[in-house]
Chain A
Amino acid sequence: MRFFKKSDIPVIAGILLISLALWGWYRISYLDTPVVAAIYYDSELVEVVELNLNTEKEFRIKQQPDVVFKLHKDGSISFLKSDCKDRLCIRSGRLKTVGQSAACLPNKVSVKIIRKNKNADHDLDIVIR
């Protein structure tokens, strides 16, 4: 088996083009949609946070006080602190676009950015506790 073949180039270019197209389509369809952050604990929606408030604040959810979130002035949310080992949630950085999500799997907490309009799709069909 050879290391590289000329026929690899179109395949790789195809993969890159598909990702570029998906990304472009995604950006165009969701760019200026007002968003909220939905926070899930154990796959249940526990809190919905407004994101376009131009405020900076830190908060926790009562179901999992070991995890601290932070709202940023640019309308994004991030994990600030967590007691988990790998801290993937914190390394996920700031989230602000629809569909972006981050999770602290050891603590069963996840955040997902969704559209503000509740009736728009199935994103918010879970009852808030």
Chain B
Amino acid sequence: MAVSKKIIRVVFTGLLFAAAIVLSIAENSLQIPVLAPGVKLGLANVMVMYALFFLGKRYALLLAALKAVFALITRGAVAGILSLCGGLASILVMALLLAFFGERMSYLIVSIFGAISHNLGQLAAVSVIYTGLVALVHLPVLLVAGVVTGAATAVLLKFLIPAVNRLGLK
């Protein structure tokens, strides 16, 4: 039984990764206005979030790394670094929130903070790579964008929870 659970987790990670790739392609083709230099909406980060909720930190980190490698291959080194920074920042913040507050948090608020920290992580990476580029002007936009995408992904998550529970991961 223990082995089959592990197989389910690995398969599920693969599924999430596939969905992340589709989402990042979809986001690129949607022509959403750019919020800040190098920073994108990060729809694909949803999948990292789900991995953290359903599979745990290790799988979330794995997924963030896979996503970064995919960005590296398809869009170059800078995109890879940005993807990794956004993913890591978001995992870090969400994992900390879950560790400190646990059940007292709601999916909605964790998701919103994850989205915001994903944006901020990318913005931080941009400012390190291109010094002086980042100004305060982007901060309000990114905060609001984080709230919107975070809420949207939390709603998606709500529909996904029953299906994932049937897999018997927890």
Which residues of A are in contact with B by a Cβ distance under 8 Å?
A: 1-5, 8, 11-12, 15-16, 18-20, 22-23, 26, 40, 43, 85-86, 88-89, 91-93, 97-103, 105-106, 110, 112, 123
Which residues of B are in contact with A by a Cβ distance under 8 Å?
A: 28, 31-34, 36-38, 40, 75-76, 78-79, 102-103, 105-109, 112, 116, 126, 129-141, 143-144, 146-147, 154, 157-158
> Which of chain B's residues has its CB closest to A112's CB?
B133
Q: Is the interface of A mostly helix, strand, loop or mixed?
A: mixed
Choose one: B106, B131, B144; the contact of A2 (CB below 8 Å).
B106
A contact residues around B138 at 8 Å (CB): 99
> Which of chain A's residues has its CB closest to B32's CB?
A91
- The reply to whether A8 and B38 form a contact with Cβ atoms under 8 Å apart is no
> What 5 A-B pairs come out closest when comparing CB atoms?
A99-B135, A99-B137, A19-B140, A103-B37, A23-B140
Choose one: B102, B144, B154; the contact of A16 (CB below 8 Å).
B144
A contact residues around B76 at 8 Å (CB): 105-106
With known contacts A2-B106, A106-B78, A15–B143 Cβ distance under 8 A: yes
- The reply to whether A86 and B75 form a contact with Cβ atoms under 8 Å apart is yes
Whole-angstrom CA separation of A40 from B131 in the bound complex: 10
Choose one: B40, B107, B130; the contact of A3 (CB below 8 Å).
B107
- The reply to whether B130 and A102 form a contact with Cβ atoms under 8 Å apart is no
B contact residues around A93 at 8 Å (CB): 33-34
A contact residues around B131 at 8 Å (CB): 43
Whole-angstrom CA separation of A2 from B134 in the bound complex: 36
Whole-angstrom CA separation of A48 from B28 in the bound complex: 31
Whole-angstrom CA separation of A93 from B79 in the bound complex: 20
